[in-house]
Structure 1
Amino acid sequence: MQGEGIMTAEAYSIIGAGRPSRWLLTCDHATNRVPDWVGGGDLGIAPEDMARHIAYDVGAAGLTRALAQRLDAPAILSDFSRLVIDPNRGEDDPTLLMRIYDGTVIPTNRHAGAPEREARLEQLYRPYHAAYAALAAARPDRAICAIHSFTRQLRGRPRRPWAVGVLYSHRDERLGPALIRECREAGWITGDNEPYSGHLQGDSIDRHALAHGRPNVLIEVRNDLIADAAGQELWADRLAGILRGFLDRHGI
């Protein structure tokens, strides 16, 4: 493997920046870490809530690392909880700094004003996106694959049936529909822009892929399937089997 080095900063880690694949793998919600300078490292919610999907995408970081290795692709992973500030939202998005999420109030965020918001943007959000932008621009034929996970059931909502969701914007359908077909052919219950819409103004894909004409797709794996290392390795094998050669197969 080329470019195997790991580069870390407070806001992110980069794995294999020099790897040769066209793919760039990203993990916006890789961790539930709260920096010490944010509420003394505590958002004021119970440890069991910090372990839930509200704080990060359970299993997504391990899956991203394993899949990046199999594809010989670079990867960037955030190193702060989405509850500190959500890197997959635009700076003007009202959900950028969440005060309540899936029934849990976030006390440290409840009274966070403009100076606190700006500090989190400047020290975490913006450095992450600057590093993301540099990796995306490192080659002219870059394609972006964002890795996320979703919870099987939100509080008070029906259980979600999908094993995998493939998300894409109506502004670029080069990858999404074809990937859905191949996932379904593999026998996986696959959501088409489920459990969420694939288009969100100002999100990471909008900012780093759509705005630059880069091929892109977002893959959501149900988090109970990748909650441990065995599940992450299994799904890395499965997804690599499809993504390896995918761009060439579809003439992209």
Structure 2
Amino acid sequence: MAKPDRLLITCEHGGNRIPARYRPLFAGFEALLQSHRGYDPGALALARDMAKELAASLFVSTTSRLLIDLNRSISHPRLYSEATRNAPASVRRDIRENHYLPYRSKVEAHIADAIAHGSRV
């Protein structure tokens, strides 16, 4: 018997939150954080509604894409925004290890588990 399909919804740009330790990097970027460049207004509510309606797994980030863009590959030249791309390498590594990799790993693990159990994702 075929396994059921598994639907998942991701919302990488669900908010414009900047963790306290990185806020100094955003001095002068306050207006940008509030704009569509800082997050996708309405995306979080839409993702939650869709996940509920479709009984789908939901993965959400409310950290601003201006910290690190979770939709981009690790080697993408615009993984970091103008606020973070010139930060010291140690800060960028910390951002990557504490925000990018955990989010991506959760989504990837969910997909791998579904496939391992014979589901299509």
TM-score for both structures, normalised by structure 2: 0.84
Tell which has more relative contact order, 1 or 2 (C-alpha 8 A, sep 6+): 2
Aligned to 1:74: 57
Q: Which residue of 2 aligns with 1:125?
A: 100
Equivalent residue in structure 1 for 2:110, among 130, 135, 151 = 135
Aligned partner of 1:48 in structure 2 is 31
Equivalent residue letter for 1:87: L
Give 2:16's aligned amino acid.
N
Distance in 2 (alpha carbons) for counterparts of 1:139 and 1:110: 35
Q: How far apart, in 2, do the equivalents of 1:70 and 1:83 lie?
A: 30
Identify if the C-alpha distance between structure 1 residues 67 and 74 changes in structure 2 by more than 3 Å, giving closer, same or farther: same
Provide the rounded CA distance (Å) in 1 between the counterparts of 2:85 and 2:71.
Answer: 20
How far apart are the structure 1 equivalents of 2:114 and 2:106? 14
Aligned pairs for 1:1-252 (under 5 A) are: 22-40=6-24, 43-99=26-82, 106=83, 109=84, 111-140=86-115, 141-143=119-121
> 1:78 Cα deviation (Å)?
1.3
Larger Rg: 1
Runs of 4+ in 1 over 6 A off after TM superposition: none
Q: TM-score, normalised by structure 1?
A: 0.42
CA deviation string 1:10-66 (max 9, x = no partner): xxxxxxxxxx862101111111010011135x6123543222111111111110000
Q: Do 2:33 and 2:66's aligned partners in 1 also have CA atoms closer than 8 Å?
A: no
The structure with more helix, counted as a fraction of residues = 2
1:55 and 1:95 mapped to 2: Cα distance?
A: 14
C-alpha deviation, 1:120, in angstroms: 0.3
Question: CA-atom RMSD, angstroms?
Answer: 1.9
CA contact (8 A) 1:27 1:78 kept: yes
The change in CA–CA distance for 1:115 and 1:46 in structure 2 (over 3 A counts) is closer
Structure 2 residue runs of 5 or longer lacking an equivalent are: none
Aligned residues: 115
